Amino acid sequence: MKVLLLVPSPAFSEGLAFFHDELGFTIEKISPAENPSLAELSGHGLTICLDKNADAGPVSLRVVTEDMNLIGTTKVGPNGTRIIFSAKGSDVKLPTSKEAVFAFGDAGHAQWTTGRADMLYRDLLPAGSWDYVASHIKIAGSGKVPDWVHYHDADFQIIYCYKGAAKLVYEDQGDPFMFSAGDCVLQPPLIRHRVLESYDDLEVIEVVAPLNHSTFTDHMMGLPTGKLEPERSFSGQHFIWNQSATRRWDTVNKLGGASFQVGETGISQASGYQGGVRILRPAGSPVTKEPFTPFLKDPRANFTLWFILTGTADCHEQSEDSTRSVNGGDAIVSINSSLGLVGTSFQNYSDDFTVLEVQLPAEVME
Ligand SMILES: [Fe+2]
C-alpha cells in the first residue's frame, strides 16, 4: 500500500514550481508529459500527489525551522497550500499561571479520566494551567502494558510506585527490573524507557515539569541496551531507582513538635537540583502524639506536593487556622508559593502515617 497526501493544484505548473523550487521537493513521477496535471513529489519525509483536477480543499503544512525570520509566519502557495513555519518543539504551548495556590485534593472525590492504554488518570492539581503536572495513575489487574520505547523532553520527571508493581526498562541501566510499591525513579531528560508489564492494580504518582514538554517515540533503540552505566549523564542528570527496601531514613528531632523521619531518595542531587523527593513519617512517641510539622526542604520552593501514602491524620493549616482530616490518597499542593505549607502540621496521626513530598526546585544541598 502507498499513501500520498493529496494536494490540489488548479494552477498546476505554479503549484509544481512552488513545491519543487521553493520547498525543495523532488519530482518522482509526472504525467501526462505533454500537458502535466498529476505529479508525485517527495521531500522532508513526505510524499505528495499534486493533482490539477482533485476535488478537495487546500492543505496546510507545518514546516519546522530554525530560521528566526520565518518562525511564526505563514505563506500561501499559488495552489492554495498554506505553509505554517514553526520552531522546533512549539507544537503545543499552553499558557501557565503564576498565581499562588494552596489546595487539598480529596481522594474520595477524585475525578478519574481514561487515557492511553486504559490507564486511569487523576489530576492532583486544582483546576488551572500550571507549569507542573502531578498525576495519580492506575492500571487495573496484571499483564503486559502496550507501551513502546519512548522519551520525554521534560526538565524533571519522577514516578513513585504507590501500589502494585511494574516491570520497567531504561536506556543503559541494565536489565528490566521490578518497580515495587514504595520505590521511586528519576527519569532524566531524553532517557529512553519502556513499561513492560504491570501487576496487582498498579498505582503510581507522577510529577513532571514543565507543563509544555513532549513525548517522542524511538524507532531505533531496543531495550535493554545491554549496558549498565548508572552514572551516565542525560542533560546533566542521572537515572535513579530508589528502592523502598534499602531506603535510608534519618531522624529529625524537632523542638516543640514530634520528631520525624525522612526517607531520602537521592533525587535532589541526581537531578542537578531540579527537584527533590522525600518520604516523611512521624517518629515521635505514639503515646504523646505531638503535632508533626514537616519542615520544607526548601521553604521558597515554587511547587510542593504532599501526597498521603498511608494512615490518617488531622491536617492543621496555620495560615487559615483550619483543620481537616486526611487519609491515604489525599493530596496537598502549593503552587507558585510554599507559604500555605509553612507551619502546616499533622495531629492525631495513625502509627502508619506516611507522606510523599515532591518539591521543585529543591534546595541546593552541600
Ligand atoms: Fe515515559
Kindly tell me if the per-residue pLDDT of 256 is higher than 70. no
Q: How far is the CA of 278 from the centre of ligand 1 (A)?
A: 21
Report the separation in Å between the CA atom of 62 and the middle of ligand 1, taken as the mean of its atom positions: 26
Whether residue 331 contacts residue 307, with contact meaning beta carbons closer than 8 Å, is answered with yes
Classified by CATH at the fold level, domain 5-86 comes out as 2,3-Dihydroxybiphenyl 1,2-Dioxygenase; domain 1 (3.10.180)
Cα 258 to ligand 1 centroid, rounded to whole Å: 38
The pLDDT, as a whole number, for residue 115 is 83
How much is the pLDDT for 366?
33
Across 45-54, 134-143, 214-223, 313-322, least confident range: 313-322
pLDDT band of 240, cuts 50, 70, 90: very high
Taking the C-alpha atoms of residue 86 and residue 40, their distance in angstroms, rounded to an integer, is 25
Most confident of 57-66, 302-311, 337-346: 302-311
Task: Render 283-339 in DSSP notation, one character per residue.
Answer: -S-TTT---B-PPPS-TT-SEEEEEEEESEEEEEETTTTEEEEEETT-EEEEES--T
What spacing in Å lies between the alpha carbon of 147 and ligand 1's midpoint? 9
Amino acid found at 243: Q
Residue 8 alpha carbon to ligand 1 centre in Å: 39
Q: Is the pLDDT of residue 264 over 90?
A: yes
CA of 194 to the centre of ligand 1 (A): 7
Q: Which of 13-17, 46-50, 253-257, 355-359 has the lowest mean pLDDT?
A: 253-257
In the reported structure, the alpha carbon of residue 91 is separated from the centroid of ligand 1 by a whole-number distance in angstroms of 19
Residue 274 has φ and ψ, to the nearest 5°, of: -75, -25
Q: Separation of 152 CA from ligand 1 center, angstroms?
A: 7
Give the range with max mean pLDDT: 8-12, 70-74, 234-238, 360-364.
234-238
**Cα separation, 366 vs 363, whole angstroms:** 10
Provide the pLDDT for residue 287.
53
- Greatest mean pLDDT among 29-33, 165-169, 338-342 lies in 165-169
For residues 250 and 207, the answer to whether their CB atoms sit within 8 Å is: no
pLDDT value for 280:
93
193 C-alpha to ligand 1 centroid (Å): 6
For residue 178, the model assigns a pLDDT of 98
Distance 261 CA to ligand 1 centre (A): 31
pLDDT at 285: 58
Return the domain boundaries, the chain. Answer: 5-86, 92-366
- How close is the Cα of 219 to the center of ligand 1, in Å? 15
Query: For domain 92-366, is the CATH number 2.40.430.10?
Result: no
CA of 358 to the centre of ligand 1 (A): 18
Say how many CA atoms lie within 13 Å of 172 toward its Cβ: 12
Q: Does residue 8 contact residue 79 with C-beta atoms inside 8 Å?
A: yes
pLDDT of residue 93: 73
Contact at 8 Å (CB) between 267 and 277?
A: yes
Is the pLDDT score of 362 beyond 60?
no
Output the CA 124–ligand 1 centroid distance in Å. 18
In the chain, what percentage of residues exceed pLDDT 90?
Answer: 64
State the DSSP code for 157: E
Q: How far, in Å, from the CA of 150 to the mean position of ligand 1?
A: 6
Q: pLDDT at residue 247 above 80?
A: yes
For residue 362, the CA-to-ligand 1 centroid distance in Å is 22
**How far apart, in whole angstroms, are the C-alpha atoms of residue 76 and residue 83?**
6
Size of the chain in residues = 366
With a CB cutoff of 8 Å and minimum separation 6, the contacts of 300 are 338
Nearest to 345 by CA among 293, 300, 309, 299: 293
5-86 matches 92-366 in fold? no
Highest-pLDDT range among 123-132, 246-255, 312-321: 123-132
What is the pLDDT at residue 27? Answer: 92
pLDDT tens track for 294-340 = 777 677 788 999 999 999 999 998 877 889 999 999 999 999 887 77
**What mean pLDDT comes out for the span 153-161?**
97
Give the lowest-confidence range in 27-41, 249-263, 266-280. 249-263
Summary mean pLDDT of the chain: 90
| Cβ(290)–Cβ(257) below 8 Å | yes
Q: Report, as an integer, the average pLDDT of 193-204.
A: 97
Q: Which residues are paired to 199 by β-bridges?
A: 165
CA 349 – ligand 1 centroid, Å: 35
* Residue 209 confidence (pLDDT) above 50: yes
Q: What is the distance, to the nearest Å, from the Cα of residue 226 to the centroid of all Cα atoms in its chain?
A: 26
Q: Which single residue is written with the C-alpha cell 494536494?
A: 7
Say how far apart CA 126 and CA 331 lie, in whole Å.
Answer: 10
pLDDT value at residue 365 = 42
Distance (angstroms) between ligand 1 centre and the Cα of 112 equals 20
The DSSP bridge pattern shows strands 184-186 and 156-170 to be antiparallel
Name the pLDDT band for 90 (thresholds 50, 70, 90): low
> Mean per-residue pLDDT for 185-191?
97
Query: How far is ligand 1, taken at its centre, from the CA of residue 149, in Å?
Result: 8
